[in-house]
Each structure stands twice: as structure tokens, then as C-alpha cells.
Amino acid sequence: MKKIVFLTGTRADFGKIKSLLQILDDHPKYEAYIFVTGMHLMELYGYTLLEIERCGFKNIHTFSNHTSETTMDLTLAKTVEGFSAYIKEIEPDLIVVHGDRVEAMAGALVGSLNNILVAHIEGGEVSGTIDELIRHSTSKMSQVHFVSNDDAKNRLLQMGEIPESIFVIGSPDIDIMFSKNLPHISEVKSHYEIEFENYAVAMFHPVTTEVDALDVYAESFVDALTESGKKYVVIYPNNDLGSSAILRSYNRLKENRDFRVFPSIRFEYFLTLLKNADFIIGNSSAGIREAPYYGIPTINIGTRQENRSLHEHILNTSYSKEDILEALQSGLEKVEITQDAFGIGNSNEMFLNCLENDSIWNINHQKQFRDFHGKG
């Protein structure tokens, strides 16, 4: 039986790996382990370890990577230390990391330096912030790549990755988006005491390379929302450097009856809220990835999703209050779903099929560089 360790540090990346864990659950050939760290263990952000435990997964290991300083380098260092000790105990055959967080980089770094096969989910994508550097670095330390589409595959080929190591499986969260088991909107509203008939979802994350301006950006964001006269379900940002500025601005919303503010929302419940929202506003990847699948318009603010926000559902705007208000006053109508750029909801099956192929397990742990001579 092969041991596979999944690393998760946020509610977002857990949503990306959940269907993959589910398809391995009780599989006779694989034993899945989950290394839980980061925001999952922080009370401020809803202590989302509980969501993972609620799923009934076995072999859950927790490690707190909090530091007294809110700097990503120290978080990286502490995660490396904790994960290194864990994999020496488990001795896995494969480490699976996702995306562009420092926890993913830590997992890939530990795996590569301990001669353990590393698989990276959703490499080869672009965003334009420090996240993109982390994503590409993580890809270079991984031997296996499960990517969302051919565009991502071609970027990895440009980075010198060998074609035999890249598998296009779509984005795994799409599996859950179209699950028949999503809760009904009435159940979600009742659970979270949301009394709005109509509402928008608001999610605004820090851009670490613009941290000096985040106080101003957050104030403009909150000013625009409050002056719009609309109702919002607001979800806390991630815990990257600068998040405290956003949370300070959110304090102004506590007594405002047009807002319901939450540290976190269960992934399936969030999907139902998004599916029934009038629109989503902020700079979350949910507005770029998930919203178009539901035909939900997106107001994308600032630079965090730069180079990713080109879909017809997406209205891009600057950080200024005036520009955000102008976008809010424009026609934001739901449209017919035509999105398939990130798969069709069978990523978990494609993932399992790849694991069943001996070629993955025979990939050379010593990375090779392939010169790029064109697409494919």
C-alpha cells in the first residue's frame, strides 16, 4: 500500500484537495494522510481544522506554524521544520501540495530534499503577485504536476518540466461545485443566520507587495461597499502579511445591518452562497475560477489576480472608491454558464487514474530540465 501525504494550510487549498482525498478514502492500494497547518489552526480565521475533521478523514496530523511575526519567511521556515519531522515518521511514497502558499513551498522543499516524490496541483498558472513566484518555485521542486488546463501545461514546459510529468486533470474544486450533495440555500442561510433575500459575496485579500498601501485600499473597499446600499456576505481574508489592515477596516461593519461578516464558511456552504449570489466582489480567486462556472458576475479589484481575470463575467477595477462604486452601479447580470477552462468536474477520477499508472511512480526523482521548443 502506497502512503500519500496531503498538505493543507488554508480553507481554500483544502477545497482543492478534498475530492482527491475522498476518492482515496478506503481505497485498498493507497493510504492517505493529511498534514494540517496554517490558518486551519487559528481561532481568528474560524479554526477550520473542524471542517476537515467533520469530513471523517483518517490520519489527520496537526502542526501550528504560527509565529510572533506575521512574515511569510518565518512561516515557511517553521512549516519546513514541522513537516520534515512528520514525513520522517510517516515515510510517504508521495507528497501532494497545492497552489501558491508558503505551506505548499515548504512541502515541496522537504520532499525534494528527502528524495520523496512530490506532486503539485495547479502549477503553471499566473497571477502577478508574490504568489506567482511561490507557485513557480513549488513547481520546480516537484516531480509530478496535476494541472488545470493546457495553458498551465505549456507554461510548465517553458519552465523546463518534462512532458511525461504533467497531467491535465482540471481544477479539483470543480468536482465539489457540481456535486449533488451541496446544501440548499435555505439551509445555508439558516445555519449562518443570513436574512438577506439578495446579496453579494465580498472577499478581499492582502497583496504582500503592496502592503504599505493596504490600509488605504481596505478603507476604500469598505467605503464603497457601505455607500453602495447593497447587502453583503463578507468573508475574512487569508492571513498573509497585511491582513490586519483589512480586518481593521472590517471592524466598521460589525453593527451595519447590510453586512454579515464571517471568519470562514464551510466550503460546500460557500459554494451554495456563491451560486445564489448576485455577484462577487474583491480580489479572491473564487471570482476568477468558481464564479464563472455558476454564471456569477465578478468585480475584480486591483492587481492580485492580474493576468488571470480575462473572462467575460469579470469587471476589473482599480482600488479607488470611485471606480469600485462605478462598477457596483453597472449592470451585473447573471449569464448562461459556458465555462470549462478548468475541467468538467471529474478531476478526482483523473487523479486516481494517474496514480494507477506505473509511469508516475517511476518518474526520476532527480529533476531533469527539458529545453522548450514550442507548445506541447
Mean pLDDT for the chain overall: 91
Checking if the pLDDT of 375 tops 60, the result is no
Per-residue pLDDT tens over the stretch 213-233: 999 999 999 999 999 999 999
CATH class held by domain 185-328: alpha beta
| Nearest in space to 233 (alpha carbons), one of 194, 271, 207 | 194
pLDDT of residue 32: 97
CATH 3.40.50.2000 fits 2-177+345-361, yes or no: yes
Q: How far apart are CA 349 and CA 172, in angstroms?
A: 10
pLDDT of residue 365: 82
Per-residue pLDDT tens over the stretch 13-50: 998 999 999 999 989 999 999 999 999 999 888 899 99
**2-177+345-361 and 185-328 have identical folds:** yes
Could you tell me the pTM of the whole model? 0.88
Distant-in-sequence, close-in-space partners of 30: CB < 8 Å, separation ≥ 6: 1, 2, 3, 4, 24, 355
pLDDT of residue 66: 84
Per-residue pLDDT tens over the stretch 283-338: 998 998 889 889 899 999 998 877 665 666 789 999 999 999 999 998 787 776 65
b/e string for 31-60 if b means 16 or more Cβ within 10 A?
Answer: bbbbbbbbbbbbeebbebbebbeeeebeee
Residue with the bigger pLDDT between 340 and 45: it is 45
Contact between 22 and 51 under an 8 Å Cβ cutoff? The reply is no
Per-residue pLDDT tens over the stretch 128-164: 678 889 999 999 999 999 999 999 999 999 999 999 9
pLDDT bucket at 84, cuts 50 / 70 / 90:
very high
Q: How do the domains of the chain map onto residue ranges?
A: 2-177+345-361, 185-328
